[in-house]
Structure 1
Amino acid sequence: MNWWEAALLGLVQGLTEFLPISSSGHLVLAKYVLGVEAAGADNVTFEVFVHFGTVLSILTVYGQEVRGLIGKTLLAAAAPHRLPEHYRTHEEVRMVAFILLTLLPTGIVYLFFGDFLEARFSDPRFVCGMLLVTGLLLLLTLLRRHPDGPVTPWKALLIGLAQSAAMTPGISRSGATICTALYLNVTPRKAADFSFLMLLPVVLGATLIKGIELFETGLAMGWIPLVVGTLVAYGSGVAAIKLLLDVIRRGNLAYFAIYCFFAGTLGLVLI
């Protein structure tokens, strides 16, 4: 992989991470179209680092919210005997608790099925089939009109389960988590905010693990493509977040289903 291929893949990642059309699926298909070859471990490492670029874009758009989450949580942690009170009175503390709950199903699925899911990144036809599943998830949001509820502990667990399913390439993480939240009657803007914020610990943890592995084993593909892809993913990710928030305010997620059905069907026919 050279630097311009990495830049193109980073652009694909940044634009598709937050739009509900599966960034991992598009990366697999883009690599197939470009003929980019890398060792299996390097494929996954590149995925993790461009995902880290999109995490930086979340921190840029949601910087004030993230600082509030950290500040209120540290304040609550400094007085453990008052945790129930902080949980009841501070929305930021509840949000952190809900994000931690989403890690339970995500961690369990990765522990038992991580190797199987990573192997799917080399199968573009499988990805195309999963794009059709993503399209169905988006289309079903038409059944939930005007959701207006909050996130709760049980809803957070179910949204976390949706996130774990989205480790499968072709299943959109933002699509699966936002759609699940909408099915559970969570307000659209709250569903989007929670989907973006719950991504932070997952990708930061994965990046840390891969970074340690790289320090020990080295990287065959080189650092330049990795850095270029990450930076491009960051810039395009900021634009994609703002676009999706505008779409959620104005439109309907089901419109993205048309694209997923088209892309998935076209891929199955041509690949």
Structure 2
Amino acid sequence: MEYLAFIFYGLIQGLTEFIPVSSTAHLKIISLLIGIDDPGSSLSAILQFGSVLALIWYFRNDFLKLRIQASKNIYYLLHKRLLRSILIGSIPIIFLGGIIKLLVPYFFEDILRSNLSIALISLLMAIFMYIADISKTGSKNLKDHNYSDSLLIGFSQAFAIVPGFSRSGITISTALISGWDRADAAKFSFLLGIPAIFLAAIVELISSYNDFLLLNFPPLMFGLFSTFLSSLLAIKYLLKYLSSNGLKLFIIYRVVFGIVILLNL
């Protein structure tokens, strides 16, 4: 039974990490609705490593190209616009998210992880995503954008440390409002997620290390593998979906999700 539970947690983590609906909120709420234990911060943190590995694997060819070109010019990576953008966009979540969460971990665990907080944030995110969805499609992309755009998206990403916001949801929406092309907005969000998700998992793990020691290793590996596979599916199909569709489907879902939680308080 424990193996099945960890596989289930991995599926939810992998799918909802990249679909703009909040993975942490779904791990907690769905577990509650179907009557199994809330996985908690420690397990959520470990499963996030599966999502990071999926991102690295999915974009492996992009990284390989950078490595090959870097061998021709030792300073190539340092001067790449995209790499600098990812580094700049990661600054806010490192300083704002990481420091706050390490200093006041119980505030996030006890208050902002509550069902009421998750429901209200889900509804607020639906409004924000709607504004992004009706915004005029821009021409900014991975090759043509300003570093100020990266920093703005990075600041929005810092809100994702609060359960219910959704890292992909808030970064994609911010990019769209800033005038990004839909497909590249999603791709930049995912690339920005590599350092962000990794660092978030490390911080979560540090703050809940004692709980982590109680986890059983074999079922945890099944959960990680489940997260890896479901993350790959989510990345692949969401990039394809957003290329020709908007956020309406996810907006409706977030409204329904928030209302269902409120009705069950």
TM range (shorter): 0.7 to 0.9
Q: 2:217 aligns with which of 216, 223, 226?
A: 223
Shift of residue 265, structure 1, vs aligned partner: 0.6
Deviation at 1:246, TM superposition (A): 1.6
> Following the alignment from structure 1 to structure 2, what is the Cα–Cα distance between the partners of residues 262 and 214?
31
Q: Percent identity?
A: 27
Q: Please give the alpha-carbon distance, in whole angstroms, between the structure 2 residues aligned to 1:184 and 1:13.
A: 28
The count of residues paired between Structure 1 and Structure 2 equals 258
CA distance in 1, matches of 2:258, 2:213: 32
Structure 1 stretch 103-112 or stretch 206-215: which is displaced more? 206-215
Deviation at 1:74, TM superposition (A): 6.9
* Distance (whole Å) between structure 2 residues aligned to residue 27 and residue 198 of structure 1: 22
* 2-structure distance, mates of 1:140, 1:119: 30
Using the TM superposition, give the Cα deviation of residue 69 of structure 1 relative to its aligned residue in structure 2, in angstroms. Answer: 3.9
Q: Which residue of 2 aligns with 1:45?
A: 42
Counterpart of 1:198 (choices 192, 195, 199) is 192
The CA deviation string for residues 186-234 of structure 1, in whole angstroms up to 9 with x for no partner, is: 1112111111111111233344566788999961122233222211111
Post-superposition Cα deviations, 1:45-104, rounded to whole Å, max 9, x if no partner, equal 21122111112221222111122345556766x34xx88xx73xxxxx111111111121
Change (3 A) 1:61 1:268: same
Q: Distance in 2 between matches of 1:209 and 1:74?
A: 33
Contact 1:128 1:265 in 2 (8 A): yes
What does residue 174 of structure 1 align with?
A: 168
Asked if 1:137 corresponds to 2:124, the answer is: no
2: CA distance between counterparts of 1:65 and 1:134?
31
Aligned-CA RMSD value: 2.7
Q: Secondary structure at the match of 2:226?
A: helix
Counterpart for residue 139 of structure 2: 148
- 2:63 corresponds in structure 1 to 66
CA distance in 2 between partners of 1:130 and 1:227 (Å)? 32
Report 1:1-271 matches (<5 A).
2-37=2-37, 43-72=40-69, 78-79=74-75, 87=79, 93-114=80-101, 115=105, 116-120=107-111, 122-149=113-140, 150-207=144-201, 219-271=213-265
Gaps (5+ residues) in structure 2?
none
Runs of 5+ unmatched residues, structure 1: 88-92
Letter in 2 for 1:98: S
CA contact (8 A) 2:42 2:211 kept: no
TM-score w.r.t. length of structure 1:
0.84
| Structure 2 residue aligned with 1:90 | none
CA distance in 2, matches of 1:120, 1:143: 32
Closer, same or farther in 2 for the Cα pair 1:216/1:70, shift >3 Å? farther
Instruction: State whether residues 138 and 176 of structure 2, in contact with CA within 8 Å, keep that contact through their aligned partners in structure 1.
Output: yes
Q: Equivalent residue of 1:166, what SS?
A: helix
Aligned-partner SS, 2:198? helix
* Whole-Å separation in 1 of the counterparts to 2:120 and 2:208: 32
Secondary structure at 2:161 match in 1: coil
Task: Decide whether aligned partners of structure 1 residues 66 and 212 sit closer, same or farther in structure 2, where only a CA change above 3 A counts.
Answer: farther
Alpha-carbon distance in 2 for matches of 1:214, 1:260: 28
2: distance between equivalents of 1:136 and 1:269?
Answer: 19
Q: Is the 8 A contact 1:7 1:228 kept in 2?
A: yes
Q: C-alpha separation between the residues in 2 aligned to 1:192 and 1:103?
A: 16
In structure 2, how many angstroms separate the alpha carbons of the residues matched to 1:29 and 1:199? 23
